[in-house]
Chains A and B, each alone.
Chain A
Amino acid sequence: MRYLPLSDADRKAMLSSVGVGSIDDLFADIPEEVRLTELIDLPRKAGEMDVERQLGAMAAKNTAASAVPFFVGCGAYKHHIPASVDHLIQRSEFLTAYTPYQPEVSQGTLQYLFEFQTQVALLTGMEVANASMYDGSTGCGEAVLMAHRVTRRSKAVLSGGLHPQYRDVVHTLCRLTEEPVETLPPDPTGSEDIIAAIDEDTACVVVQTPDVFGRIRDLAPIAAAAHEKGALLVAVVTEIVSLGALKPPGEMGADIVVAEGQSIGVGLSFGGPYVGLLATREKYIRQMPGRVCGETVDADGKRGFVLTLSTREQHIRREKATSNICTNSGLCALAFTIHLSLLGEAGLMRLARINHENAIALADALESVDGVELLTTAFFNEFTIRVPGKAADILESLVEKGVLGGVPASRLAPDQDGLEDLIIVAATEVNTAEDRHAYAKALKEVLS
């Protein structure tokens, strides 16, 4: 077997050094009645070619985003990733290292985490950030729990513009931890009055911008209202490229920002692994979940980095930890930080601008199709259209014409009324004028 260095002769010699007669002697503690004597009923070992053939066959049945005009978003976005990013994250020293528990031989990981934390803080307009969460949705759940700890209150108020699967994550967490949640209904037209839902029991109000329908939200009045009642504002960003064009949540009064970082450096990969960003104010750092990297010096006085504030964490605090989280999303954080170092402010702002312009052009093209109504006026790279008919069926018909045209709003929240005829459409820098034309043309044909 190509991955196992021991030869039969090695095994024999080693068993003899250990002082046992056979390998089974090493498994003698497994009760005999359950010890397997036969091989498990699964295929036997296979060579590289064989495995490639089998998995390649499954992969070939899927439509890759880059193969068609592609406009699917809602929390995961098709962006171009520079070739150097994927090359660098595959370096053995990054790929096959673990959590930097031994800082003397982990400065590579630690320094990029420190740089990552700084980039996330700058991008979100916050003071500090952690070393990443699993993804945006789980980060959102952790942010709500963090708000409970900070305010010592229990109620979370969720905007109807929050990604419904993020909403479901928070609901699940709060139901199981027995904390109340108030959720406003989905809000495709932007009529929500979330301020009215904030009261003296509110720990936090959770608002996504741009929201799941693509609408840009001004968080400043919500932050002011929350703070007046002693609550925190948790801002959620699912399209991180938007912060290259939009005022950051930190400038609008957010106390905690959670974001999905996938758009920068991380491929679509059918939903994961991604990278969650969590940023906050310095005064709350001891209530933050997850790993954090900090600066220090070594015995020679040289600057270096270590994992720090670990007295919050489960391996020290056990049942009193701020979170049960252990793993972060290290390699995806690396991809994020490399891509962002390549972009820099100038590149990111230009990238955001191109996304925005492509979305405007697409919105105009789709709005010109008879029967299509554009519901979103202020948007970044994603917006919602109302179509005459069932959105899911129309999108399926578009597939037959080779266009992946977006997400039916009802797929995310089938329990909610009034979403059946809505399509959430995303445009990024990868879309060309031809792609937009193909979409408008196909939609026109499907609707006629």
Chain B
Amino acid sequence: MSMNRGGRPTSAAGSSNIGHPTFTGNKALQIEEPLIFEVGNTGKTGVDLPEPDGEEDRLGGLERKEIGLPGLTEPEVMRHYVRLSQKNFAIDAGVYPLGSCTMKHNARLNEKMARLPGIGDIHPLQPESTVQGALELMSTLAAWLLEMTGMAGVALSPKAGAHGEFCGMAAIKTAQLAKGDARSVVLVPESAHGTNPATASLLGYSVRDVAAREDGTVSPEAVREALGPDVAGIMLTNPNTCGLFERDIIEIADAVHEAGAYFYCDGANFNAIVGKARPGDLGVDCMHINLHKTFSTPHGGGGPGSGPVVFSEALAPFAPVPYVVRDGDVFSLVETVEAAEGMKPFGRQTAFHGQMGMFVRALAYMMSHGSDGMRQASEDAVLNANYVRAGLRDIMTQPFGDQICMHEVLFDDTFLKDTGVTTLDFAKAMIDEGFHPMTMYFPLVVHGAMLIEPTESESKASLDQFIAALRDLTQAAKEGDTERLTGAPYYAPMARLDETRAARQPILRWSPDRPAEAAE
């Protein structure tokens, strides 16, 4: 059907960035939004509650007179948060190729399942007879994780990846102490996530770096050289943070075990190999699994996560409480170390039982995909990353040469040399093109690192556009059209922010004594 345009011009008179400043400071859908403290007041509320009876209190003379918290009515609250939301990039809006973070699609079925009254509205300390289905769910999740990883035991309670790292390393420390074999050093490759050395250090270990060889992986020789009677274990990410599978992993595991040490695998990148290989077959003693990465529980702006840890036979007895046991059709919780018959738990890491809301989402993901769908997801994730690599390898540079990668592909900034453009500029220019930047400057061992993880959720068409855009930006940088990059982003809700100022003069809260500078 043709449209009567009535003489209305259809070509844009000018691009939106040239436009005049607006009276309000707003830019159409981008609306300036003050802090709630600047618009609400302490007398206003968006919740209608019954009138209290006004009985005499029993607060022991410690009642409160004022708080200083502003309130807003519901329409005002809706507008505030909807406007804020419109300043965020999100997976649902576009390509979000943050390497190592695994920004895959978050299925809404999983949200729905987490909100079933029998899941979302049950209390962790209800009598066990009233939560049999919840314990069954945890037990089912545990069984799926064990089958998938080929391991012997699992602790579901760790709240996030780093919490899981602590869990695994605590089990290692406890197991060694139980043998009277106190050790003081943990081996960590230089490319590891910062949480690895931080965790080892928290547990009182000193960290010994293991350098990677030229191809970006760890060599068994380097590990053997670093091993000794003082070494408690190694923390190795596999696939590693350069997006490569540690092909000598079995040899490394053997060397570690021969030295009386344990192999902690950082499972942040497990999503690349689900259904393709099992950590249990690779000699891993324990591994955390980020349910918010591999099994797509939503990242939620930085959490909540969930980091169950799977254990080998050797370490399983040391897993923390609580855990679920099954006797026929009856499930129960073991909640204290004293109650853990035949086990030697290292303790408890959190109140209650872990991130149930994440367990159900992850299980919904697993059930939806099944063993066939999960393997396909791993294959597609790896294929997508290699497709991006193939699309960019002639024009961008890879620190360890052009080799097959797993679920993410790593570039460095060699291709930007002498252009005056940095990795940061390149990332910010991607924002203008409608993409979230990749992970930048990580791993730390690679100069100007750009770690791209497209995940299996991207279609070929979307990757084709992504590749073409990155090629265009690279071309622009090389041809001297650098303002497009060095001044970016031009079209985001904000221009580049001054992070140095934020750190030097920290302003961590609104304060009535220091009215914030009015938004311009």
Interface stretch among A150-158, A195-203, A223-231, A351-359?
A: A351-359
In the complex, are the beta carbons of A302 and B494 less than 8 A apart? yes
Interface size, B (range): 35 or more
Q: Is the CB of B71 within 8 A of A346?
A: yes
Q: Is A137 an interface residue (CB 8 A)?
A: yes
CA distance A429 to B50 in the complex (A): 9
In the complex, are the beta carbons of A320 and B201 less than 8 A apart?
yes
Residue of B nearest to A122 (CB): B68
Q: Is the CB of B117 within 8 A of A30?
A: no
Shortest Cβ gap from B213 to chain A (Å): 14
A291 to B162, CA, bound (A): 14
Q: Does A117 contact B (CB under 8 A)?
A: yes
Contact A64 B519 (CB under 8 A): no
Tell me whether A356 and B58 are in contact (CB under 8 A).
Answer: yes
Q: Which 7 A-B pairs have the closest CB atoms?
A: A344-B71, A271-B352, A172-B347, A331-B300, A59-B118, A378-B60, A61-B133
Q: In the complex, given contacts A302-B494, A356-B57, what are 6 additional A-B residue pairs having Cβ atoms less than 8 angstroms apart?
A: A107-B494, A114-B510, A169-B350, A269-B121, A275-B304, A314-B193
B136 at the interface (CB under 8 A from A): yes
Q: Is the CB of A341 within 8 A of B88?
A: no
Let me know if A4 and B357 touch, CB within 8 A: no
27 CB < 8 A contacts A-B: A3-B373, A4-B373, A43-B371, A52-B109, A72-B126, A74-B125, A88-B81, A93-B86, A105-B89, A105-B431, A105-B489, A107-B88, A122-B67, A138-B349, A172-B349, A216-B60, A245-B63, A269-B120, A272-B354, A309-B503, A314-B195, A318-B198, A326-B193, A344-B42, A354-B49, A360-B57, A395-B127
Pick out which of these stretches binds chain A: B11-19, B226-234, B277-285, B308-316.
B277-285
Residue in B closest to A44 when the chains form the complex, CB atoms:
B370
User: Are B203 and A176 closer than 8 Å at their CB atoms?
Assistant: yes
Interface membership of A5, Cβ < 8 A: yes
Given A114-B35, A178-B204, A304-B494, are A137 and B369 also a contact pair (CB < 8 Å)? no
Choice from B197, B303, B338, B509 contacting A114 with Cβ under 8 Å: B509
Which residues of B in the span 304-358 have a Cβ within 8 Å of any Cβ on A?
304-306, 320, 335-336, 338-339, 346-358
Task: Give A172-189 as 1s and 0s: 1 = Cβ < 8 Å from B's Cβ atoms.
Answer: 100111100000000000
- B window 176-207: CB within 8 A of A: 193-195, 197-204, 206-207
Instruction: Report whether A346 and B43 are in contact in the complex, using a CB–CB cutoff of 8 Å.
Output: yes
User: What residues of chain A lie closer than 8 Å to B302, measured between beta carbons?
Assistant: 98-100, 109, 131, 291, 327-328, 330
CB <8 Å contact, A3 and B368: yes
The yes or no answer to B224 lying at the interface (CB within 8 A) is no
- Check B45 against A5 for contact (C-beta < 8 Å): no
Residues on the B chain within 8 Å of A395, using CB = 127
Tell which of B50, B162, B199, B349 touches A354, judged by Cβ atoms closer than 8 Å: B50
How near does chain B come to A168, taking the closest CB pair, in angstroms? Answer: 4
Any chain B CB within 8 A of the CB of A25? yes
A93→B88 contact, CB < 8 A? yes
- Chain A residues near B446 (CB, 8 Å)? none
Nearest Cβ on chain B to A438's Cβ, whole angstroms: 16
B468 at the interface (CB under 8 A from A): no
Question: Residues 305-329 of chain A: 1 if any B CB is under 8 Å from the residue's CB, otherwise 0?
Answer: 1101111011111111101111111
A102, B89: Cβ atoms closer than 8 Å:
yes
Partner of B124, one of A268, A297, A380: A268
What CA separation (Å) do A168 and B92 show in the bound complex? Answer: 40
Q: Is B375 an interface residue (CB 8 A)?
A: yes
In the assembled complex, B154 has its CB within 8 A of some CB on chain A: no
A417 close to B (CB within 8 Å) = no
Q: Is there an interface contact between B44 and A45, defined as CB atoms closer than 8 Å?
A: no
Interface window among B95-103, B255-263, B414-422, B476-484: B95-103
Instruction: Check if B457 is an interface residue, CB within 8 A of chain A.
Output: yes
**What is the minimal beta-carbon distance from B317 to any residue of chain A, in angstroms?**
16
Which positions 120-134 of chain A face chain B at CB distance < 8 Å?
Answer: 121-123, 127-129, 131-132, 134
Closest A residue by C-beta to B514: A295
| Separation of A102 and B424 alpha carbons in the complex (Å) | 10
Check if B376 sits within 8 Å of A30, measured CB to CB: no
Task: Specify the chain A residue showing the minimal Cβ separation from B202.
Answer: A324
Q: Is B387 an interface residue (CB 8 A)?
A: yes
Residues of A within 8 A of B82 (CB): 88, 91
CA distance A175 to B148 in the complex (A): 33
User: A50 contacts which chain B residues (CB < 8 A)?
Assistant: 367
- B85 contacts the other chain (Cβ, under 8 Å)? yes
Q: Is B469 an interface residue (CB 8 A)?
A: no
Query: What residues of chain B lie closer than 8 Å to A14, measured between beta carbons?
Result: 383-384, 386-387, 460
Do A246 and B298 have beta carbons less than 8 Å apart?
no
Please state if B85 and A93 are interface contacts (CB–CB under 8 Å).
yes
Chain A 252-292, CB-CB to B under 8 Å as 1, else 0, gives: 00000000100000011111111100000000010000011
Contact of A40 with B277 at beta-carbon distance under 8 Å, contacts A84-B78, A298-B498 already known: no
